[in-house]
């Protein structure tokens, strides 16, 4: 990928410039997450791809989307009633992230833009707004959100599918912070450190919030089991 | 350590983290050893695991995958479209500004000329007599030697004062 090389050169020259000006080179961590999309081996980092995209490399753009789409869709699936809605929200998420990246890097060319963290945060916010709008304007029931189970066969599977549907509705009834932490963990499978980073809280707070959410779900399940 | 009511208080958080698959190392080993001995914690661990298992979304189905395919291309197209719209909006704004500037350059002389003509009517109503204006603006000569129309000389002689007015300062001076 020619432009990625170009982008890497741009980054390197920026670092050289900073060094020449006597500035201390900043060590910047770009959140990679643990859900299998972090660059491995010789793959360029998100930041390099972003820089390549900003100098006009369309391939870098596609690679960035492909690398993060699984994460974004896993967040959005729970909050939408149809896969088309999840796809449209994912598209909006990436467009907003690219617009924000362009603006941020124009303002501070040497600053870091942790693309993955931004994309996650934007997806969480768009999902929350979408859920609120669907509930307010469409009067949608919480049970209708999320992907449908593959057609259950037999009474046991039917019962389990019904319980799962109600439990997923309970997830959406959780207080906002509990819901965000819980879904980022069980849907997006992010480590608690990344969840804390995305939501701007401490890792310990993320774990405790998750615990409260999980306990609430357990209470609901117990209530259903005891007639 | 164990209670009949519920799990051990000190293990509640660890049980939730275990159900989330986020417990490892010494903490995980310690909890597993405890679970062997504590039925209440074991029951709690199973309950949380079951709740989270039900709450978890099913894997992406084939129909969903078909919808999600090509997200990168769709996003790229949308981005190009929005960039083009933004570019066209900028061009349109620049064109409007240019047209406005050109119109201002062309129309400014005409407007200014009309404005310059407008006070002409006012001038017709106010036509001062230059002689009067000059005499109104003249300054009283301090030494009284030169006057423009004799007024200051008259003042110097005290002729311009009323009798009462004239007496008062003169009396004061005499004293």
pLDDT digits (tens, 9 = 90+) for B83-100: 778 788 888 999 999 999
Asked if B71 lies within 8 A of A91 by C-beta distance, the reply is yes
Q: Name which of A62, A150, A221 is nearest B58 (Cβ-Cβ).
A: A150
CA-based nearest residue in chain B for residue A96: B79
For tokens 């149809």, what's the residue?
A82
Q: Assess contact for A48 and A7: CB atoms under 8 A.
A: yes
Q: Assess contact for A52 and B32: CB atoms under 8 A.
A: no
B92 touches chain A (CB under 8 A): no
Q: Residue B120: its pLDDT value, please?
A: 56
* B62 pLDDT higher than 50: yes
Average pLDDT over residues B146-170: 48
CA-based nearest residue in chain A for residue B57: A187
Q: Residue A196: its pLDDT value, please?
A: 96
Q: Residue A148: its pLDDT value, please?
A: 77
Q: Assess contact for B60 and B68: CB atoms under 8 A.
A: yes
Q: Assess contact for B2 and B38: CB atoms under 8 A.
A: yes
* B141 pLDDT higher than 70: no
As a whole-number percent, the residues of chain B with pLDDT over 90 amount to: 38
User: Smallest Cα–Cα separation from A171: which of A156, A162, A181?
Assistant: A181
Q: What is the spatial distance between Cα A159 and Cα B96, in angstroms, rounded to a whole number?
A: 65
pLDDT digits (tens, 9 = 90+) for B108-120: 888 888 777 665 5
Q: Name which of A160, A185, A222 is nearest B20 (Cβ-Cβ).
A: A185
Q: What is the spatial distance between Cα A68 and Cα A188, in angstroms, rounded to a whole number?
A: 11
Asked if A95 lies within 8 A of B82 by C-beta distance, the reply is yes
Q: Name which of B44, B54, B74 is nearest A91 (Cβ-Cβ).
A: B74
CA distances from A71 to A66, A80, A222, A226, B6 (A): 10, 15, 31, 36, 36
Q: Which chain A residues in 182-211 lie under 8 Å from chain B, judged by CB atoms?
A: 182, 185-187, 191-192, 207-208, 210-211
Q: What is the spatial distance between Cα B33 and Cα B18, in angstroms, rounded to a whole number?
A: 13
Tokens, residue B62 = 């084939």
Q: What is the spatial distance between Cα A116 and Cα B124, in angstroms, rounded to a whole number?
A: 77
Q: Residue B86: its pLDDT value, please?
A: 78
Q: Which of A75, A91, A166 to mutate to test the interface with B (most CBs of B within 10 A)?
A: A91
Q: Which residues of B touch A83 (CB under 8 A)?
A: 63-64, 67-68
- What does pTM read for this prediction? 0.67
Q: What is the spatial distance between Cα A145 and Cα A139, in angstroms, rounded to a whole number?
A: 12
A24 touches chain B (CB under 8 A): no
3-state DSSP assignment of residue A77: helix
- Buried residues in B96-121 as b, exposed as e (16+ CB within 10 A): eeeeeeeeeeeeeeeeeeeeeeeeee
Q: What is the spatial distance between Cα B55 and Cα A131, in angstroms, rounded to a whole number?
A: 17
Q: Assess contact for A92 and A43: CB atoms under 8 A.
A: no
Q: Which residues of B touch A208 (CB under 8 A)?
A: 13
Better pLDDT: B117 or B81: B81
User: Smallest Cα–Cα separation from A186: which of B20, B95, B61, B119?
Assistant: B20
DSSP state of B102: H
Tokens, residue A208 = 């405790």
Per-residue pLDDT of chain A (227 residues; tens, 9 = 90+): 444 444 445 444 444 444 444 443 333 333 333 344 445 556 678 888 888 888 878 788 888 999 999 999 999 999 999 999 999 999 999 999 988 888 887 777 666 778 899 999 999 999 999 999 998 887 888 888 888 777 777 888 888 888 899 999 999 999 999 999 999 999 999 999 999 999 999 999 999 999 999 999 999 998 877 66
* B75 pLDDT higher than 80: yes
Helix residue ranges, H only, chain A: 2-20, 46-54, 58-76, 83-107, 115-137, 155-173, 176-186, 192-199, 203-225
CA-based nearest residue in chain A for residue B53: A164
Q: Residue A199: its pLDDT value, please?
A: 95
Residue B159: which pLDDT band, with cuts at 50, 70 and 90? very low
B101 touches chain A (CB under 8 A): no
Q: Residue A227: its pLDDT value, please?
A: 62
Q: Residue B80: its pLDDT value, please?
A: 82
């Amino acid at each position: 990928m020619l432009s990625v090389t170009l982008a890497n050169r741009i980054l390197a020259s920026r670092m050289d410039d900073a060094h020449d000006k006597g500035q201390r080179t900043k060590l910047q961590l770009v959140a990679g997450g643990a859900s299998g999309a972090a660059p491995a081996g010789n793959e360029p980092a998100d930041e390099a791809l972003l820089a390549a995209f900003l100098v006009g490399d369309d391939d870098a753009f596609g690679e960035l989307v492909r690398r993060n789409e699984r994460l974004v869709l896993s967040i959005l699936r729970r909050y939408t009633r149809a896969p088309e809605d999840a796809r449209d929200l994912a598209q909006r998420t990436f467009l907003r992230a690219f617009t924000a990246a362009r603006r941020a890097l124009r303002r501070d060319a040497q600053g870091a833009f942790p693309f993955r963290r931004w994309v996650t945060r934007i997806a969480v916010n768009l999902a929350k707004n979408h859920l609120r709008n669907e509930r307010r304007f469409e009067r949608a029931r919480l049970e209708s959100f999320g992907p449908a189970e593959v057609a259950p066969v037999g009474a046991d599977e039917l019962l389990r599918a019904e319980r799962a549907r109600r439990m997923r509705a309970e997830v959406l009834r959780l207080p906002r912070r509990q819901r965000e932490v819980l879904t980022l963990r069980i849907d997006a499978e992010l480590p608690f450190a990344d969840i804390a980073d995305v939501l701007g809280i401490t890792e310990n707070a993320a774990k405790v919030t998750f615990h409260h959410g999980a306990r609430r779900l357990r209470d609901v399940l117990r209530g259903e089991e005891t007639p | 350590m164990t209670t009949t009511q519920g799990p051990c208080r000190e293990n509640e958080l660890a049980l939730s983290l275990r159900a989330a698959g986020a417990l490892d190392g010494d903490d995980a080993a310690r909890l597993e050893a405890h679970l062997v001995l504590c039925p209440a914690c074991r029951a709690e661990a199973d309950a949380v695991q079951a709740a989270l298992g039900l709450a978890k979304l099913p894997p992406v189905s084939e129909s969903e995958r078909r919808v999600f395919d090509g997200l990168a291309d769709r996003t790229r197209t949308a981005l190009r479209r929005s960039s083009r719209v933004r570019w066209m909006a900028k061009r349109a704004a620049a064109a409007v500004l240019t047209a406005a500037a050109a119109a201002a350059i062309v129309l400014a002389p005409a407007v200014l000329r009309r404005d310059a003509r407008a006070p002409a009517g006012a001038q017709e109503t106010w036509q001062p007599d230059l002689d009067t204006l000059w005499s109104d603006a003249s300054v009283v000569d301090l030494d009284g030697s030169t006057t423009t129309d004799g007024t200051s000389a008259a003042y110097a002689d005290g002729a311009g004062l009323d009798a009462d007015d004239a007496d008062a300062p003169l009396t004061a001076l005499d004293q």
